[in-house]
Amino acid sequence: MENAVTASAAIEMAGENSETPRTWLVTGGAGFIGSHLVEALLARGDSAIVLDDLSTGRLENLAPVAGHERLEFIEGTVLDRAEVASAVARADVVAHLAAAVGVRLIVDQPVKTLETNIHGTEVVLHECGRRGTPVFIASSSEVYGKGVRCPFREDDDVLLGATTRTRWSYAASKMVDEFLALSWHRESGLPARIGRFFNTVGPRQVGWYGMVVPRFVGQALKGGPITVYGDGQQSRAFGHVGDVVRAVMALMEVPASSGRVFNIGGPEEVTIRTLAERVRDLVDPSIEIQCISYEEAYGTGFEDMTRRAADTTRLRETIGFAPSRGLDEILVDVVADLRGRE
C-alpha cells in the first residue's frame, strides 16, 4: 500500500497532485492542524473522511472546503470503536490527530485529557492494526517534559515533573500513545509513524485553551495589555501549520519513516518576552506588556518548561524537510487571520 519513493521526492509529492489519489481518515480533522491537513489533501486530489466530536474542533475550520465532493464529515468520537472501525475500513491512510490539547484544557479537565488521548489512540491503532492501514500518530514536544538538553532529539531521555503537577498528565498520555504505536509496529509490522508537534501556529488557531500566539495577537488587537506568564524568559520555537502539514503528508509517502518518531517544529527559538514584543511592534508599539505569575494564570502547582526547541535533523534526512516560514511571517499571517475574524 505504501509507495516506494525517495526522501527528496516525498516532500515534493506532499504538495503536488498525488498520482494515486487515496482516501485519508483524519481524526480531529475539524481542529486547527487537522483542518489544514484536510484542505491540503483535498487540494492535491486525495479524499478525506473527517471524524471529529467538535469538542475543541469547529466546523468553521472546514468552511473553506465545506461541501467538497471528496470530503465526508462524521461528527463522532474516537472513543466509539464501531464508528472508528467503519471509518478505518473505508480509508487507505489514517492521520490520528484527535486529542485533548491545550495547557488550559489539560489543567481544567485532566480526566478527559487522559481518557481521550489514551483510549482514543488505543481504538485507532487497534482498527488500523487489524487491517494493516498506515497510520500517523500525533504526539507532542510535551513528552520531553523539562528536558535534559535542548534542542530536543527524538531519542533523548525525557524528564517529566511529579504526577501531582497536572500539566504532565498530557505528556504521559502522549508517551503512552507513542509506546502503543511503536508496539503495534514491532509486534505486527503496522506502518505507524509518530510526529512530535512542537508549538504549531497559524490561521484558525484559537487562544481559548492557552496557545500563546493567538492569545498575544488577540490581546494586542484589543489594545492590550499582552500578558506574559512568569518572567517571559522561557523560550519556544514556533512552526507554521502549513509546514507541519506538509511534513505529515511527506512522512506518509516514505516507507523508511515507519516505526519511527519525528520532531516536527519551527526553526527559530525565541523567548516569550521577545514574542510579546514582536507582536506588539507588529500591531501597535504603544501596547503594554504585563507579566503575571503562573499561579495567577493556572492556579497553584503549575510547572512550565524553560526551553523548548526541536532538532529536526531526522525529519530533514528522511523527507528533505525545511521549514518555509519564520516567526515574522507566521505572526503576519496570524494577525491577518484574527483581524479578518473581528
Which of 1, 3, 45, 47 is CA-nearest to residue 24?
47
71 vs 272, which CB is nearer to ligand UDP?
A: 272
Residues 6+ apart with CB under 8 A from 187: none
180 vs 272, which CB is nearer to ligand UDP?
A: 272
**Residues of span 79-138 touching ligand UDP by CB under 6 A:** 103
Kindly state whether residue 144 participates in binding ligand UDP, applying the rule CB under 6 A. Answer: no
Answer yes or no: 170 catalytic: yes
Kindly state whether residue 279 participates in binding ligand UDP, applying the rule CB under 6 A. Answer: no
Rounded-to-integer distance, Cα 317 and Cα 253, Å: 14
Region near ligand UDP per CB under 6 A, out of 22-30, 89-97, 112-120, 207-215: 207-215
Torsion, Cα 151 138 227 337, to 10 degrees, reads 110
Kindly state whether residue 199 participates in binding ligand UDP, applying the rule CB under 6 A. Answer: yes
CA pseudo-torsion sign 327, 333, 335, 341? negative
Kindly state whether residue 237 participates in binding ligand UDP, applying the rule CB under 6 A. Answer: no
Q: Which among 144, 170, 229, 298 is annotated as catalytic? A: 170
Kindly state whether residue 234 participates in binding ligand UDP, applying the rule CB under 6 A. Answer: yes
Rounded-to-integer distance, Cα 102 and Cα 180, Å: 22
Kindly state whether residue 228 participates in binding ligand UDP, applying the rule CB under 6 A. Answer: yes
Minimum distance between the CB of residue 101 and ligand UDP, rounded to whole angstroms?
A: 9
Interacting residue ranges for ligand UDP, rule: CB under 6 A? 103, 199, 210-212, 215, 227-229, 234, 236, 272, 304, 308
- Catalytic positions, written as ranges: 170
